[in-house]
Amino acid sequence: MKYTYRMCFFRPMDSDAVERYLSRKARKGWRLDKTGQVFWRFRREEPAALTYAVTYFPDASVYGGALTPGQEELAAYCAAAGWTFVAQWLRMQIYATDRPDPVPLETDERQKLETVRAVFRKNRVTSLLLIAVALLQLATLGIRLKTDAFQLLASPMALPLLLC
């Protein structure tokens, strides 16, 4: 089998772009095989008119790994509707089907919006914590710069810290 790797810089909430991109790649003969944080692996197969769908699962791990029981149950429901689980990226579940007019994975837009909000609510807490740590480090560096600027700037690690 032939594989290719592509850098995929999608925003995690841009499911429509992911679906369009993967469908376009499938028409060219490349099917998603594995997702990583930046690089996604595609395997060479016959060109096909696949439809991809993305759904979010708030309780999924952002680090990947095995599917949780809830995710396995979701995959079973999707398989009954003709969708095949392809991969997981962050808390995004990616499914594909070759049916010409597939049943949508999510039909209630309000519920879909609530699910996306729940997913990114968890990310917001982590982001705020990282910002707080960065501000604390910046404050510490500022105090050190004010009290002993010469010694700080003489340090080989000072410039990379200041740039960060």
pLDDT in tens, 91-111: 888 999 998 888 888 877 787
- What does the domain layout of the chain look like in residue ranges? 3-106, 114-163
**DSSP notation for 97-157:** E--SSPPPS---HHHHHHHHHHHHHHHHHHHHHHHHHHHHHHHHHHHHHHH-HHHHHHSTT
Structure confidence by residue, pLDDT tens digits, 119-128: 777 667 777 8
User: Which residues, at least 6 apart from 109, have a Cβ–Cβ distance to it below 8 Å?
Assistant: none
Structure confidence by residue, pLDDT tens digits, 40-54: 999 999 999 999 999
Q: pTM higher than 0.75, yes or no?
A: no
